[in-house]
């Protein structure tokens, strides 16, 4: 048994009594009130999910297992001779809540290496799809095609005990995660690099091997590591995370769940935001003739944009009330590695002028930039200029968090999700009682 799996087993035995006690002894304790606005408005802010993997604090940003992003980047073991921690180290943190030793990181690396071979039929399926298929369609289809490999699906029909569901979910998750970099890189090289496929290097870590298969030199390997970490999880209520949880709550295996997760992520209101920001930035640059504007010129452009009824993409967040730490982490990388990049200069200038204007106009509770304001800029700088592929990168990272959550959901015996619906007439009746 791997070090990670043994540690996870120990943690599960500790956590199960906590959940069982809460459900048995305190199941009727109220923790929230629901309004009509929340019911009709997409269940926004209704406290009805649980996860220990991440928590979004309005002022500190996302915490992974209690650690802020700066703490994660500081405390996790770095890849030798690189600036960023490995994805392997981060995944250990997500699953266990512990900062891993180098031995524990190496153990996961070996596990991923052992499991990373992609069945040939997956590549055949991707090749058989129309060349102009969206890369997210290719990615989700490739994952779904591997459902026949599911260990849980096989074990479930062998009278698998409920308390042991987590074990095959763990095995399926490890098998799937190990394959994601190669599948994604294959799609990229097939679609955008004339089918010039690059084989993986078993000596490289998760992020480093992805960069290698993409054919992009250092420091893109550190970008991959950072990108996957930052996009891994964002509580359980966002569309991609919740979709994965919901599908898995029916005991659909990890291949079904992650494929469904990706289809949610592909929506323009979710995973496409970084693409939209970059398109907008290129439009701004074009309108200014490609030159770097002065601060006053950029202010005028922002005012004109708002006056015309449009928004400034990449700014604001439903929960956060400060600059998104995910944006800050990427900005620091840009300041170090690409300070003279024209698009970054635009982003940096917008960072200075937009928030005060939005506050002045009362346009947003949070006028600060979010993660999407920066992420596409970095990809563009290092040669990944195909907008539509950015969501695939997002999907690799998000799979880390969703797989972790699903494993724990099965370990703690969370049931099938089944919220109750009301009719419009019932809501009108409730509203009338308040008049």
Catalytic member of 106, 134, 270, 337: 270
Can 102-271+390-411 and 273-381 be said to share one CATH topology?
Answer: no
Of 95 and 370, more confident: 95
In degrees, rounded to 5, the angle at the alpha carbon of residue 275 between the alpha carbons of residues 273 and 281 is 105
- Residue 274, both tokens: 């970084």
pLDDT tens column, 6-58: 999 999 999 999 999 999 999 999 998 999 999 999 998 899 999 999 999 88
Catalytic member of 221, 324, 372, 381: 372
State how far the Cα of 84 lies from the Cα of 179, in Å rounded to an integer: 21
Q: Does domain 273-381 have CATH number 1.10.238.10?
A: no
For domain 102-271+390-411, give the CATH number: 1.10.580.10
Share above pLDDT 70 across residues of the chain, in percent, rounded to a whole number: 99
Would the pLDDT of 364 be above 70?
no
Does residue 164 carry a catalytic annotation?
no
Does residue 372 carry a catalytic annotation?
yes
Does residue 270 carry a catalytic annotation?
yes
pLDDT tens column, 156-205: 999 899 999 999 999 999 999 999 999 999 999 999 999 999 999 999 99
In degrees, rounded to 5, the angle at the alpha carbon of residue 245 between the alpha carbons of residues 242 and 246 is 85
State how far the Cα of 108 lies from the Cα of 68, in Å rounded to an integer: 23
Would the pLDDT of 269 be above 90?
no
The residue ranges of every structural domain in the chain are 102-271+390-411, 273-381
> Buried (b) or exposed (e) across 275-284, using 16+ Cβ within 10 A?
bbbbebbeeb
Q: Which of 61, 100, 44 is nearest to 327 (CA)?
A: 61
Q: Which of 148, 154, 119, 146 is nearest to 259 (CA)?
A: 146
Whole-prediction pTM: 0.95
Q: How many CB atoms lie within 10 A of CB 119?
A: 14
Q: What DSSP letter does each residue of 226-260 carry, written as one string?
A: HHHHHTS---S-SHHHHHHHHHHHTT--HHHHHHH
Catalytic member of 109, 231, 242, 317: 317
As beta bridge partners, residue 78 has 85
State how far the Cα of 39 lies from the Cα of 390, in Å rounded to an integer: 32
What local confidence, expressed as pLDDT, does residue 317 receive? 78
217-224 long-range Cβ contacts below 8 angstroms, 24+ apart: 219/83, 219/337, 220/382, 221/79, 221/82, 222/79, 222/82, 222/83, 222/84, 222/333, 223/333, 223/378, 223/379, 223/382, 224/393
Q: Are residues 413 and 19 in contact, defined by beta-carbon separation less than 8 angstroms?
A: yes
> Buried (b) or exposed (e) across 86-118, using 16+ Cβ within 10 A?
bbbbbbbbbbbbebbeeebbbbbbebbbeebeb
Confidence class of residue 363 from pLDDT cuts 50, 70 and 90?
Answer: low
């Amino acid at each position: 048994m791997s070090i990670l799996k043994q540690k996870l087993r120990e943690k599960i035995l500790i956590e199960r009594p906590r959940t069982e006690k809460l459900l048995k002894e305190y199941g009727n304790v109220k923790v929230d009130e629901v309004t009509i606005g929340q019911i009709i408005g997409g269940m926004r802010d209704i406290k009805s999910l649980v996860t220990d993997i991440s928590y979004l604090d309005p002022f500190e940003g996302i915490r992974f297992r209690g650690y802020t992003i700066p703490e994660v980047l500081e405390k996790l073991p770095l890849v030798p001779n690189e600036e960023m921690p490995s994805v392997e180290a981060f995944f250990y943190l997500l699953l266990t809540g512990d900062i891993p030793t180098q031995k524990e990181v190496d153990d996961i690396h070996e596990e991923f290496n052992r499991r990373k071979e992609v069945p040939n039929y997956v590549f055949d399926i991707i090749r058989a799809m129309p060349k102009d298929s969206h890369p997210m369609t290719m990615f989700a289809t490739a994952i779904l095609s591997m459902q026949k490999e599911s260990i849980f699906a096989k074990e479930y029909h062998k009278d698998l005990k409920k308390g042991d569901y987590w074990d095959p979910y763990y095995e399926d998750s490890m098998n799937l995660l190990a394959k994601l970099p190669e599948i994604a890189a294959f799609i990229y090289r097939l679609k955008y690099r004339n089918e010039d496929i690059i084989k993986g290097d078993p000596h490289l870590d998760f992020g480093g091997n992805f960069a290698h298969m993409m054919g992009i030199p250092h420091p893109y390997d550190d970008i991959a590591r950072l990108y996957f970490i930052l996009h891994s999880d964002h509580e359980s209520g966002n569309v991609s995370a919740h979709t994965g949880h919901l599908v898995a709550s029916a005991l659909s295996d990890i291949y079904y769940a992650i494929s469904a997760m990706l289809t949610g992520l592909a929506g323009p209101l979710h995973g496409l935001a970084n693409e939209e920001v970059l398109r907008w930035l290129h439009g701004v640059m074009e309108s200014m003739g490609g030159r770097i504007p002065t601060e006053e010129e950029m202010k005028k452009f922002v005012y004109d944009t708002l006056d015309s009824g449009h928004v400034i993409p990449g700014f604001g967040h439903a929960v956060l009330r400060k600059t998104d730490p995910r944006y800050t982490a990427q900005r620091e990388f840009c300041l170090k590695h690409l300070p003279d990049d024209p698009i970054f200069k635009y982003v940096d200038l917008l960072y200075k002028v937009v928030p005060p204007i939005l506050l002045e106009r009362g346009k947003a509770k949070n006028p600060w930039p979010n993660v999407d304001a920066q992420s596409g800029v970095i990809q563009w700088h290092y040669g990944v200029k195909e907008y539509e592929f950015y969501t695939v990168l997002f999907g690799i990272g998000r799979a880390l968090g969703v797989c972790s959550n699903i494993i724990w959901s099965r370990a703690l015996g969370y049931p099938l999700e089944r919220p109750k619906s009301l009719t419009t007439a019932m809501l009108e009746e409730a509203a009338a009682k308040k008049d």
